[in-house]
């Protein structure tokens, strides 16, 4: 019987595509770079590639922060004298106060909170995710907020989930479900730990050859039929 539900944050509860767009636009303008909407696919691709390295343990989060905007500017072929590390800080400062909710997120949280203990399981910075959850109106639904910065490890590492369960009241992986959009960080990490997994496939991509999840949904409200 499921007792606890773990939620990822970005692109699961809070739309990183919308929030990231605003934060990148603000960052470019603040650093004297003309912003173009067509820059965003390059940013998202670069950002996702770097986070995959973090998830695989090949890059630390701090190392990623040092190079993210250098990689973005290089990929865009922009010539600028802007300090890319300052751009990274400006980006995270902007993102700290932006939280565009994913469609159906609040309704789902309201529904699930009456049946289960809800917890956040996110690869990010604690204060940032806490603040964004408050802005989005989601904070009150969560009993625990597990973030890689505090846990000391990142999803999908076993140690991340060890850190989560060490703070729960004897609950077991099989009594828990992970809801997230990442096949590697969320689904693979959860399944290898013995946690049930619901893949929020908001991009509508093809399913992998190896099934890394128990259920697949294309919208959050479909989860009401599962839990």
Q: With a threshold of 0.85, does the pTM exceed it?
A: yes
Domain shared by 9 and 20, yes or no: no
Distance separating alpha carbons of residues 125 and 147, to the nearest angstrom? 6
- Residue 55: per-residue pLDDT: 85
* CATH for 149: 3.40.50.1000
Distance separating alpha carbons of residues 202 and 159, to the nearest angstrom? 27
Domain shared by 199 and 176, yes or no: yes
Domain shared by 57 and 136, yes or no: no
Domain shared by 30 and 73, yes or no: yes
Domain shared by 205 and 145, yes or no: yes
- Residue 16: per-residue pLDDT: 92
Domain shared by 181 and 77, yes or no: no
Q: 60-70: per-residue pLDDT in tens?
A: 989 999 999 99
Q: DSSP assignment of 80-142, as one string? A: ----HHHHHHHHHHHHHT---BPTTHHHHHHHHTTTSEEEEEESS-HHHHHHHHHHHT-GGG-
Domain shared by 67 and 84, yes or no: yes
Domain hosting residue 152, numbered range: 4-15+99-225
Domain shared by 147 and 188, yes or no: yes
Domain shared by 131 and 78, yes or no: no
Q: H or E element: which one contains 30?
A: helix 16-30
- Residue 209: per-residue pLDDT: 65
Domain shared by 109 and 54, yes or no: no
- Residue 114: per-residue pLDDT: 98
**How, if at all, do strands 4-7 and 176-180 pair?**
parallel
Distance separating alpha carbons of residues 5 and 175, to the nearest angstrom? 9
Q: 75-132: per-residue pLDDT in tens?
A: 999 999 999 999 999 999 999 999 999 999 999 999 999 999 999 999 999 999 999 9
Domain shared by 129 and 73, yes or no: no
- Residue 142: per-residue pLDDT: 98
| Residue-averaged pLDDT of the chain | 95
Mean per-residue pLDDT, 16-31: 95
Q: 195-221: per-residue pLDDT in tens?
A: 999 999 987 777 776 788 999 999 999
Label residue 224 by pLDDT band (50, 70, 90).
very high
């Amino acid at each position: 019987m499921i007792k606890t539900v773990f939620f990822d944050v970005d692109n699961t509860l809070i739309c990183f595509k919308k929030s990231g767009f605003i934060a990148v636009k603000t960052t470019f303008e603040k650093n004297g770079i003309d912003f173009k909407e067509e820059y965003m696919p390059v940013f998202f691709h670069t950002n996702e590639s770097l986070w995959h390295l973090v998830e695989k343990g090949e890059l630390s989060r701090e190392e990623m922060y040092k190079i993210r905007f250098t990689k973005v500017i290089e990929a865009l072929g922009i010539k600028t004298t802007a300090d890319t590390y300052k751009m990274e800080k400006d980006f995270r400062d902007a993102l700290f106060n932006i939280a565009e909710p994913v469609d159906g997120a609040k309704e789902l949280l309201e529904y699930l909170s009456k049946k289960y203990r809800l917890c956040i399981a996110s690869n990010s910075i604690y204060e940032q995710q806490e603040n964004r959850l408050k802005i989005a109106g989601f904070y009150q639904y969560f009993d625990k907020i597990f973030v890689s910065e505090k846990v000391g490890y990142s999803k999908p590492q076993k140690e991340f989930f060890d850190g989560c369960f060490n703070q729960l009241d004897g609950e077991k992986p099989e009594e828990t479900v992970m809801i997230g959009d990442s096949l590697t960080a969320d689904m693979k990490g959860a399944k290898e730990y013995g946690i049930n997994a619901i893949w929020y496939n908001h991009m509508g991509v093809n399913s992998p050859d190896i099934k890394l999840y128990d259920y697949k949904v294309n919208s959050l409200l479909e989860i009401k039929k599962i839990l």
